[in-house]
Structure 1
């Protein structure tokens, strides 16, 4: 136990029982991150075999905070923590864990315990956990589950990864369109144990179980009992079961949805997606795009080193090839560089500034594509705007840096050469930063993954060629 942890433990009067609120205040900082001292307290309780103390500490945390705690613990301490969680708590924590940690945790939990825990989850969360299991253990866990719950999970797993079918929960609240508000409320109260834990809309269906509208719970509670559901229902935005989850997130964001029905190819209601699932998708997709811009696909605390190397090395090799191509320009002008050594000092500045401008444009273009703000309809206007911004920034920097070069080297022609090369490279930075992701998107490739390599190559090549070429014409 660290000294800070000991001091923290002693800060609580041993004569006064700690409340859950006291422990929660000790556990979380103002930014809702776990305090390192609290993690030390958990480790100390585990080391001393103080089971009651460990349960007390864990009980004060929200499941999401326990999942966060697991990320700070070694595998040995994770097993100790798992041993003191009941199935309901284990279920909530499993759905919150990082993928790498969850896979490790699942290996240590007995199939029967895991089957009981999964029964506490909605079908979408349960399917997500089962998908991380090895084939043998998956079969054991599913065999230990009740038939209805097992069938729901197997149906979810039959849909493709990152589709609406995999994202949806099969538990929905539906009612025929001829029911009144009173009939619906009475039925839902009788069947309360079978309702989803969280729902926002009652989907009104026709005799073929196709959704014809949705009655928000808030409208239901404000309406008289004799009012027909058809009178208070609103139009719904149906989500096809095979739709990509990124497209689903876009629809939720565009139409400000809280929930939406999922329909099969025949248009029948098969599930629902709620906004809490979409928040996770938006976070996941944003994280993927940020990492992809850098040519990286790993960021977890427990990411395997060899997997990290394999994910990054290919893009570094491609970057090596493009860098070599850019360097070939320097070789072509080695005679001019030998005559005027100052060129060797200034040419990396042209390339570096152009690369920064290209990255700025690229980030804007990728964001616009992701938000459906950039398409063939406005591509010319967008590209023209980015090129103009690039040229204006280039002119401003050319004036500033040109004056600095004139002051340092007392050579007006060198200042003009540097400034002209800078403007040319900023022109290409704006052009490539906007066109490269557009072209990759039109080819059906993810523009966030490989755009940076091509934009960097363009600005390096243009920067070296324009500066050395103009130097050969003006200075030598």
Structure 2
């Protein structure tokens, strides 16, 4: 539990809370966090009824309490933290949004945070330390006891987004010559076991990984059997420098619950568990979606100007794309002046191409993230398939546009030009939606970040060039 010698700040609580109106389905999923419950907490804070607040939150899971803290207004949140700071479960910090966690940490102080981190497992403690500023990290590490500090510093020495940064150093390691009886005796008597574990890891005299034995098998086997006879040797260890995306793929592909982490010599360093991978998959998926949308990493708790600053870069790229498109259109001003209907129809080709390309791009980026495009043959089939889909969609919508153009403008030649430009641009959109992320990944960059702006720029430019160019060539 967090203890703090800081005097409690006397604040004037506010009954304002974030609008958390919930649907019936949400009420069933989160019965403790109904809108009425949050209002009751806010009212109790407003009246200064601390005992009632403690009674209301006493049965909440750490994740639910974190959601409650986020739902409250800033002043009510500060008041709540002051009430529970001496009994605050440090696990709550793991579930808080980054910006809210920063506020809570600032309120409880570095010394209290350091004490809290010693109660968490190493991977959870590291997740919080990574979110701190460098100066805060140094202050926290300095306040942590030497053994725990050495373990955390070792993990921090590994590159970000690798298995080393995810691993939990609390493991159960046993020698192969032990019997089941000796192992059970050890498990009953040891006082430094992890809070939760599923496998026992067998190591040799140099602490190199040999294999694993599941906990349920230990319970079921005869007590006289040696661990070397029941080792699961098919479980392959994960190198400490492997990227977290690749680790997540192994967990999904082999349906792993936990996996050992080793260094280049095969020495066992720690383990990664499935709950860590759930967070990684969620984080990677959210990041890809946000990057494709051009908003970067953000959340609704992030301060206004910080979110504003993060989005400027992406909007600047959009502005450059728009200026490039304007430059292309300006080359055909004479054609547009002679045939004003071109200005009416030209956005159709660019818009359809952009949307078709983003469909192919989204599918491809997700397939790359989940390692579905792992071979040349599969990638070749993906390119051909998406190109054909783009072409077929182009033909379908070109046919519709031909009917609309002839019916509205009574111009068969214009309809043919528009249809041709539509087919070409959507064919390119399907092709580019696959080859661009593949090419960008081959260059070593993140396709989720760079593919979108390039794709939109090319479909816009090619859409206008193809339509206006053909119209200038054949109609004027």
TM-score normalised by length of structure 1 = 0.90
Tell me the residue number matched to 2:225.
Answer: 227
Task: Tell me, yes or no, if the aligned pair for 1:68 and 1:97 is still in contact at 8 Å.
Answer: yes
Aligned-residue offset at 1:269: 0.8
For residues 118 and 335 of structure 1, the distance between their equivalents in structure 2, rounded to whole angstroms, comes to 69
In the other structure, the counterpart of 1:284 is 283
Deviations 1:3-46 (A, max 9, x none): 99xxxxxxxxxxxxxxxxxxxxx997124383232222111111
Q: Distance in 2 between matches of 1:140 and 1:391?
A: 60
- Give the match for residue 273 of structure 1: 272
Q: Could you tell me which residue of structure 2 aligns to residue 165 of structure 1?
A: 164
Taking structure 2 as the reference length, what is the TM-score of the superposition? 0.90
Partner of 1:389: 389
Q: Deviations over 1:114-138 (max 9, x none)?
A: 2332222101111222333455554
Structure 2 distance, partners of 1:49, 1:453, is: 52
Distance 2:402 2:25 in 1: 56
* In 2, Cα distance between equivalents of 1:237 and 1:77: 49
- Cross-structure match for 2:403: 403
Q: Distance in 2 between matches of 1:429 and 1:132?
A: 39
Instruction: Give 1:287 shift.
Output: 0.8
Q: Which residue of 2 aligns with 1:16?
A: none
Deviation at 1:148, TM superposition (A): 2.8
- The corresponding residue for 1:205 is 203
5 Å-filtered alignment, 1:250-261, equals 250-261=249-260
Describe how 1:310-459 pairs up with structure 2 within 5 A: 310-375=309-374, 377-378=376-377, 379-459=379-459
Counterpart in 2 of 1:29?
A: 27
CA contact (8 A) 2:115 2:144 kept: yes
1:228-251, Cα deviation, whole Å (9 max, x unpaired): 112222122212222222221111
| Offset of residue 222 of structure 1 | 1.4
Corresponding residue number in structure 2 for 1:461? 461
After TM superposition, the structure 1 stretch with the greater mean CA deviation from structure 2, 364-373 or 393-402, is: 364-373
Mapped to 2, the partners of 1:95 and 1:175 lie a distance apart of 31
* Alpha-carbon separation, structure 2, partners of 1:408 and 1:163: 59
Paired residues of 1:94 and 1:129 also in contact (CA < 8 A): yes
Displacement of 1:89 in angstroms is: 4.4
Q: State the Cα distance separating 1:112 from its structure 2 match.
A: 4.1
In 2: Cα distance, 1:115 partner to 1:36 partner: 34
The 8 Å contact of residues 16 and 73 in structure 2, kept in 1 or not, is answered as no
Runs of 4+ in 1 over 6 A off after TM superposition: 1-4
Q: Which stretch of structure 1 is more off in the superposition, 290-299 or 370-379?
A: 370-379
SS of residue in 1 equivalent to 2:407: helix
1:155-194 matches, cutoff 5 A: 155-191=154-190, 193-194=191-192
> Deviation of residue 90 (structure 1)?
2.2
State the Cα deviation string for residues 255-308 of structure 1 (Å, max 9, x = none). 111101111232111111100011001111111111111222132122233332
Deviations 1:72-123 (A, max 9, x none): 2233222322233366742110121112211121111144432332222101
Cα distance in 1 for residues equivalent to 2:329 and 2:142 = 66
- Check if 1:303 corresponds to 2:281: no
1:57 is displaced (CA, Å) by 1.5
Aligned to 2:125: 126
Q: Which runs of 5+ in 2 are unaligned?
A: 1-13, 18-23
Question: Do the aligned residues in 1 keep the contact of 2:211 with 2:232 (CA within 8 Å)?
Answer: yes
Gaps of 5+ in 1: 5-25
Distance in 2, Cα, partners of 1:346 & 1:329: 16
Aligned length: 455
The DSSP-based 3-state class of the residue aligned with 1:160 is coil
